[in-house]
Chains A and B, each alone.
Chain A
């Protein structure tokens, strides 16, 4: 089985711009989560989608949004970029049912905001 695929792997944007990141989960997985990793804050939960519905949401401003398509692929969008949005954005997929919470992560999209 192919793993979790994230695109693009690297990107550079300037303040005020917006960005869209894409995630293709493992085949058969219906849950997709997004995390932001920064040196100071570690891994922080952004949101989780299951069957096209947002099921959990973290404490991020409304500039951060996401969606999930019928094929379970997911995108996240950050609008009006700020310098502090520079981070590694990690996508993770799971079957989405059951009580394990075991996630399978992609390699991440590294965003630099100048």
Chain B
């Protein structure tokens, strides 16, 4: 049973446009959500996170939105740059198990020049 789902295996956007990556979760105990980015032959790197007490968190070009009622979160990248091309993983954790992350299967983002 996949508790964190990224239904789009891949996404292609033009440089300068907005990239929107989506993630759904089923476990209502999750209260902290993170996005990681992964380049080939490297480990994932932390990008941005959001607590369940918020509905939006922004860091430069990256914004994460959380809709708890829909159990849905999204990552917006504006403007998209070719260097953003990578696999993006959505992850979630619950209180008391903060360091046990449940990951989605990832979305490959390709930003075309």
Q: Determine the distance from Cα of A61 to Cα of B46 in the docked complex, in whole angstroms.
A: 28
Residue B42 interfacial (CB < 8 Å): yes
Residue-wise interface mask of B (38-49) relative to A, using a CB-CB cutoff of 8 A (1 in contact, 0 not) = 000111111001
Distance (whole angstroms) from the CB of B34 to the closest CB of chain A: 7
Q: Determine the distance from Cα of A102 to Cα of B101 in the docked complex, in whole angstroms.
A: 9
Residue-wise interface mask of A (80-110) relative to B, using a CB-CB cutoff of 8 A (1 in contact, 0 not) = 0000000000101010101111111111100
In the bound complex, do residue B89 and residue A43 qualify as a contact, i.e. CB atoms below 8 Å apart?
Answer: yes
Task: Indicate whether A99 sits within 8 Å of B32 (C-beta atoms), given known contacts A105-B44, A107-B41, A108-B43.
Answer: yes
Smallest CB-CB separation from A102: which chain B residue?
Answer: B46
Residue B81 interfacial (CB < 8 Å): no
Name the interface residues of B32-60: CB closer than 8 Å to any CB of A: 32, 34, 36, 41-46, 49, 51
The size of the chain A interface, using a CB distance under 8 A, is 29
Q: Determine the distance from Cα of A63 to Cα of B93 in the docked complex, in whole angstroms.
A: 25
In the bound complex, do residue B99 and residue A94 qualify as a contact, i.e. CB atoms below 8 Å apart?
Answer: yes
Q: Determine the distance from Cα of A106 to Cα of B36 in the docked complex, in whole angstroms.
A: 13
Residue A71 interfacial (CB < 8 Å): no
Residue A4 interfacial (CB < 8 Å): yes
Additional 8 contacts, C-beta under 8 A, given A41-B105, A43-B91: A42-B105, A42-B106, A43-B101, A43-B103, A43-B106, A104-B45, A105-B36, A105-B45
Listed A/B pairs (21) with beta-carbon separation below 8 Å: A4-B43, A33-B99, A33-B101, A42-B105, A42-B106, A43-B89, A56-B97, A56-B100, A58-B100, A90-B44, A92-B43, A94-B99, A99-B51, A101-B93, A101-B101, A102-B34, A103-B46, A105-B36, A105-B43, A107-B41, A108-B43
